[in-house]
Amino acid sequence: MISVLSLCLAKAQIDPVKYPTFTNIDEALSSKKTVYSMSFREKGLFNLPPQISKLNSLFFLNIMGNKLEKMDQEIFALSELEILNVNENSIKYIPDEIGNLKKLNTFSMNLNSLTSINPNIAKLQNLKAVHFDANNLNVFPEALMEIPALEEINLQGNQISSIADRLYRIKNLKFLNLSENQINDLGNLSFPKHLKYLELQQNAIVKLPENLFKAKNLEFLNASDNHITELSPGIKGLKNITSMNLAHNNLKDIPVEIARLKKLKTLILTGNPIEKAKIERLKNLMPETQIYF
């Protein structure tokens, strides 16, 4: 859901008439109009054409689906770049020069071979969305905690097992996807107050942190397919939650305080060892909520 949203936002920024996307470097270089958008998607490239550095007005560059093993230095000469898509390559690291792209606001490197994120990414204070899905990251990139402007972080399908308790510093964060990682203990992690969407499914989480229930703007929570054994009565703090997925955990009961979540429209409890009588009691307490069991 989050990734689809980002793609829509990115497309919305590009008017195909005003900013036509070139797919051939020679045509771009010979164009009489300023070139703002360039795509080398699925061209089988091992390296980018060196001449790309001459396109110094580029704000959109798509190089996904190639055979790149590194980010070519020419990229970092594109000082006007705002959207960079490097998905589906074989890149193992992000060079220090990433810090040169001061105007970058959307950065996607899904399906690469990253094991860490260069600290210099913290220099990109205009970043609003980052996607590092399906890499080999084992810790939450702490450099991202130094970019308060970030609104969306997608780290699905990595090997993350630990997160430093500085997540709250990303003050504008609204979307966070940490699904399909190796998280088992969130401690008492604090979350940004503007967070709206949180995806934690398919980890090994035993307990949701008490501080999560202070995220009063949270609207969507997916914590399915974990090892959660109980919910705190503090869950009543999620005043704006509309959808909560707790399927396939180890819950035997749900605290009555959940009935105070008046905006909750959907509650998914499928695959938990909760007695039917307790589910019926819950349905009576929450007649306006669709409960799946």
Q: Is the separation of the CB atoms in 141 and 169 below 8 Å?
A: no
pLDDT for 204-250, tens place per residue?
A: 999 999 999 999 999 999 999 999 999 999 999 999 999 999 999 99
Helix segments in the chain, DSSP class H: 2-12, 25-30, 276-285
**Can you point out the beta strands (E) in 185-284?**
197-199, 220-222, 243-245, 266-268
Q: Please give the DSSP secondary-structure letter assigned to residue 14.
A: -
Residues in the chain, total: 293
H or E segment and range at residue 154: strand 152-154
pLDDT for 254-292, tens place per residue?
A: 999 999 999 999 999 999 999 999 999 999 999 999 999
Distance (Å, whole) CA 268 – CA 259: 14
pLDDT band at 14 (very low <50, low <70, confident <90, very high): low
Domain boundaries, the chain: 184-191+198-293
pLDDT at 11: 42
Distance (Å, whole) CA 103 – CA 232: 42
User: Mean pLDDT across the stretch 190-213?
Assistant: 97
Tell me which CATH code domain 184-191+198-293 carries. Answer: 3.80.10.10
